[in-house]
Amino acid sequence: MALPDIPVVDGNGGLTGNAAAVLGEVEALLDGLLRTAEGGMIDIRGLPLSAADRRWLQAQLGEGEVEVRLSIAGASRILETAYPGVWWIEHRDERDNLVSEFIQVAYVPELISAHPDDVEGGLDLLRSRIAELS
């Protein structure tokens, strides 16, 4: 009789140790944010992380009070983590496939901020609209 097909799991449940290094990087970026107001981005998909590493990292960072959804060429979601100033960002393509994931360390995730050129364009439009109405 053949032995049953038992999945082989290493002692760390698939963790490579790289996720802990990412947590250390988040710590360094938060320290930088407080000292210089400059945070930074970590490209999760660009790192040698296993699926277990990613789950571990998300569990470590936890969930905060803010969720942002953006619909700009596909959907993006920005979740505040339990650590204020640390944001988990997911981008999806137009077929809803997850195409990139980042951790951003910033007071405000950059994507949300209105660009002055766009504000100016909007103000011009609003003025035309108001002129039409009166």
Q: How far is the CB of 44 from a second copy (least distance, A)?
A: 17
Using a CB cutoff of 8 Å and minimum separation of 24, what contacts does 59-67 make? 60/19, 60/23, 61/26, 61/86, 61/88, 61/103
Q: How far is the CB of 129 from a second copy (least distance, A)?
A: 7
Quote the CA–CA distance of 39 and 29 in Å, as a whole number: 5
Compare residues 31 and 43 and give the one whose CB is closer to a second copy: 31
Query: Would you tell me which residues interact with a second copy (CB under 8 A)?
Result: 20, 23-24, 26-27, 30-31, 33-34, 60, 65-72, 80, 82-86, 106-108, 112-116, 118-123, 125-127, 129-130, 133-134
Cα dihedral 77, 31, 37, 54, rounded to 10, equals: -20
Compare residues 5 and 94 and give the one whose CB is closer to a second copy: 94
What distance lies between CA 15 and its chain's CA centroid? 21
Per the structure block, which two tokens stand in for 95?
């077929």
Q: How far is the CB of 4 from a second copy (least distance, A)?
A: 34
Compare residues 56 and 101 and give the one whose CB is closer to a second copy: 56
Q: How far is the CB of 123 from a second copy (least distance, A)?
A: 5
